[in-house]
Structure 1
């Protein structure tokens, strides 16, 4: 018993470190967590005094707690049992799969990251790349939205910059929670995105268990009053036109109203750009060619960045024109149901749910379409596209754009006229197209679309074609 035992120095040091970690974990960590949590709550309380749409307690709930609630939701457990029967596996394995899906989806919102890092980064990036303008905003109607309502911003989807631009412009109102595609699941980027409250989804998932887990999270977030932002088209427009409405997320949001005591309010948002950074890539994906590999996409992105860096160093770099966002009149779900002579959502059967979800989705997408601002490049592109084979000089192009603006204003569209000068509007739009060599000037002074770029001109024209 009294014998001396010799141990290697490295083993003694390792045992000491493990003991120290245990002491910190048992004694200090709970106190530190409590202190940081209290400070975070104080910061959120302060933010809520300035925000129109408050940050609800659900967003500050520990991520592990939310993951557990989602994975053990009765609907998810029922789906797990069904999944186990279909695939001949133990129910426990199916439940573990549901938990894995929940961990993949559920965000880890941090008010500090969102407002101190996310919104500042969004503002810097937005204003560095574009001249950002607020198009139309029904301020009185937006101010009348009840503070206890579940609010959902519904938008068109033209660029991955949509997330950045809308986050920047809406930062004084609320913290938005986006559904983000798998493109953002990069090792470092996804951690930052989760901290801003975004949740990841698999756009083309056919797995019933996965969809049930996603529906459970969206339903909980909606019932808890989390301010959300969704793209009604599901994915990016590849030809510039509005895509058909996708009802997945919308149906999950509506299912949350079955036991809700407060109203759900949808706020239509329309976006447009003088230049969509991904325009050529989107059209390439739409022409039926083989999908590009990650290496090819990375190479293209690096080449784009290198080209713009060289222009910046040479003092010849310009921002990519205007980016504009319009916020429309809110649509109340309860008012919509009343308009359709329907009772409370919970009293409707499955067929009625499907019918009204489709009608609401199409109405919201129509509202979004009417809000899309007409910007210089879209106006010039539409004028050139409508001219067809007719030869236009600068003067005749300005006359066409001037007539087009009159038609748009008469139809109630929102036109952003740069510096309130229609001649300058044409100059700005044409300059962007000629700088990119999409439009060229012939020897006789007429303007022509560069061979092979007709689809690109149509892409920008399609953004506002439906308005006329």
Structure 2
């Protein structure tokens, strides 16, 4: 088996002879690829891994090089601060415990406890001067004792939390084992951009000299994400980052392995544990002050839908505080995109999205998942955005805030500072997500999945599939996106490769036809791959869906013409509706709308009418697009329709929260279990899908419905509140009074009118309706009766659970409404 060029960096002359090419050695043994005319600038960083059955001698040679630790395998002269030495963990714990922040918090907590004991009379009385002296000494001794006790607790927490990268021999073995396992599942390896990794090494070298940390912020679609990034850093000779991981993965054997490979365990929820919160901040401060690289996932958990999730501000807030406070001078932000031909966990994701509870991670499930190692899942593509200074970003943003939004003298003290912090966090989070999208590579499986789910009809011939994949690839590139490169292979070969990876479980072939015809077997799972492309076309999708509100009315071209004002209104509504789902361009609604309309006109999808001054008056589907069967216009609609359908479903389910009538004929007032309300919305969606009133089964997925309910809460349509402060407290939901529809006092049935009904109708304007449209109203009386029936079951369950009879919305709802109205006025859709 010949050694591949570009990526091997063996130390001995014979290995260099095998390369037969001129190479450039860098610290850590990394070899820069030779530049060749027509090269794609990509490398497979794990192509050197040999298999025993294929090449026993090469396999044994590779093992011997890892065991002996030669060349880059020794992981010696890495770029970054030293981490692999005996006593590293103890040094880290000592530094954390000595941080002024933690010591101050321990003193503060001990003092608070002493005051409580004093108020409870546990420290004696003060009848005379002598007693006061004794009490003062007793308080001091008691405080010291409590502080020592808290230190012990903090030390135990620290030991359980911190990563323990102490052994180079261990990390060499871990690298080899993980790479062997990963390349058995992803048989085409881990691919990176040569230009990007050389730039990253240059940044790492500069950061190491300044003792600054590189903060890697990857997207999160799979557990493979952090394994692949660790492998890349090892292979490039960059100090491994400390990786923030949820303690749900800290189960026996595997947890210890991951902790010694770089995992930092944190709780999923900190609650009101002030000591633990301070401890996490102290650890992050210590890492960044000493220049250790760091990694956390900006989305929090793994994306179950295939697209980027909204940023989570937990760990990001700690990082921001480290630099804003001045405790850390600076750190380097590096957004990272990881894309897969096929994600290992998609089947389990679908189970979760359909309402199955997420199983707790354990060793048995981990070992049983080893079957994936025999799969051929294609390749992993990792891309690195150009890194940038967090300090410079913050200085620039603070200067903008001071220049354009000075605090009003009448504002409460501290309000502006708090608001500015939230604004900084949001800007930072969405910038990182935008840059992840900017460097993401669209894989062949994503192209195929997108095409199959955006065509009318049951299936597609191979020739048409190839044509549409070509068209979509061109559209991706025109939008500034990247398509995975396959060394000039024809589209047919790339499509065949993608179909092989997806397998017959996702894409089937209709037998006995004169042309090979494919169809989507599992549309729900295939939607995961379609969603990997939607960020590139979200502007076009929103505009097309808004236009569809006119197109669906039928008639001739003139009848389907939409005024600019009406188009603007519907696009504004949709962009607000999906502000938690998608990341929009930052130019603002009007600028983005005009740019999108111009682009659709240039592509021949829309025709625009303007007055003599160039002002846009109206838009309609172009004659050219009509002649082609509206395939491009429909493509954009198909991308967004499942999300519109899901939000419509969520809003319809709210009708079921209409309070039942009391015996006196008045509307009652109660709260219902929020989780059960979401489950009921899913059950409603499954029923409507099988009855033909819902076009997309993926519209019932739990994640999109959860986002819809979040928007409903932000709009003040519903109120969601915990019924207690402990972890086991349930969340309850109640329909806001001003949004609640009325009931017929005689029949008790919900009347199809009112503010919520109008809101549903607004969503439905852009919805692709199901086949059953026998009733004139968008939400037919039959659907409304089903919704109400399910809602009544919720209220019956509330009685059994003891929710009815608790304090209703009352004053705290008014406080929440006031707060939400205030916050909602500040939230502007960025499309």
Return 5+ residue gaps in structure 2 as ranges. Answer: 1-70, 118-145, 401-415, 538-831
Which range moved further: 74-83 or 195-204? 74-83
C-alpha distance in structure 2 between counterparts of 1:349 and 1:107, whole Å: 34
Aligned length: 408
Q: Please, which of 501, 519, 523 is the counterpart of residue 454 of structure 1?
A: 523
What root-mean-square deviation, in Å, do the aligned CA atoms of Structure 1 and Structure 2 show?
3.2
1:205 corresponds to which residue? 270
Cα gap change, 1:157 to 1:339, in 2 (>3 Å): same
Return 5+ residue gaps in structure 1 as ranges. Answer: 1-42, 310-316
Q: Determine helix, strand or coil for the equivalent of 2:453.
A: helix
2:695 corresponds to which residue? none
Cα gap change, 1:227 to 1:302, in 2 (>3 Å): closer
TM-superposed deviation, 1:322: 1.5
Tell me if 1:134 matches 2:192: yes
TM-superposed deviation, 1:114: 5.8
C-alpha distance in structure 2 between counterparts of 1:250 and 1:200, whole Å: 16
C-alpha distance in structure 1 between counterparts of 2:494 and 2:334, whole Å: 29
TM-superposed deviation, 1:432: 2.0
2:451 corresponds to which residue? 383
What pairs with 1:13-412 in structure 2 (closer than 5 Å)?
49=77, 51=78, 53-56=79-82, 62-71=88-97, 73-80=99-106, 85=112, 90-113=146-169, 115-130=171-186, 131=188, 132-135=190-193, 137-139=195-197, 141-142=199-200, 143-144=202-203, 146-147=206-207, 148=210, 149-171=212-234, 172=236, 173-206=238-271, 207-257=273-323, 258-259=325-326, 262-292=329-359, 298=364, 304-305=369-370, 318-340=375-397, 342=399, 349-389=417-457, 391-412=459-480
Higher relative contact order (CA 8 A, sep 6+): 1
8 Å CA contact 2:217–2:295 kept in 1: the answer is yes
- TM-score (ref. length: structure 1): 0.78
C-alpha distance in structure 1 between counterparts of 2:198 and 2:191, whole Å: 19
Point out the structure with the larger helix share.
Answer: 1
- Residue by residue, what CA displacement relative to the aligned partner does 1:31-88 show, whole Å, maximum 9, x if unpaired? xxxxxxxxxxxx99x9564x3x322479875423432442453433444466665897
C-alpha distance in structure 1 between counterparts of 2:83 and 2:507, whole Å: 53
TM-superposed deviation, 1:374: 0.9
Q: Determine helix, strand or coil for the equivalent of 1:342.
A: helix
Which range moved further: 91-100 or 187-196? 91-100
2:494 corresponds to which residue? 425
C-alpha distance in structure 2 between counterparts of 1:386 and 1:136, whole Å: 34
Q: Determine helix, strand or coil for the equivalent of 2:358.
A: coil
C-alpha distance in structure 1 between counterparts of 2:358 and 2:76, whole Å: 45
Cα gap change, 1:63 to 1:110, in 2 (>3 Å): closer
C-alpha distance in structure 1 between counterparts of 2:506 and 2:436, whole Å: 28
TM-superposed deviation, 1:303: 5.2
In our comparison, the structure showing a higher alpha carbon Rg is 2
8 Å CA contact 1:156–1:232 kept in 2: the answer is yes
C-alpha distance in structure 2 between counterparts of 1:294 and 1:115, whole Å: 24
- Residue by residue, what CA displacement relative to the aligned partner does 1:92-111 show, whole Å, maximum 9, x if unpaired? 54443322211111222125
- Residue by residue, what CA displacement relative to the aligned partner does 1:312-350 show, whole Å, maximum 9, x if unpaired? xxxxx552111110111112123313432539xxxx945
8 Å CA contact 1:151–1:264 kept in 2: the answer is yes
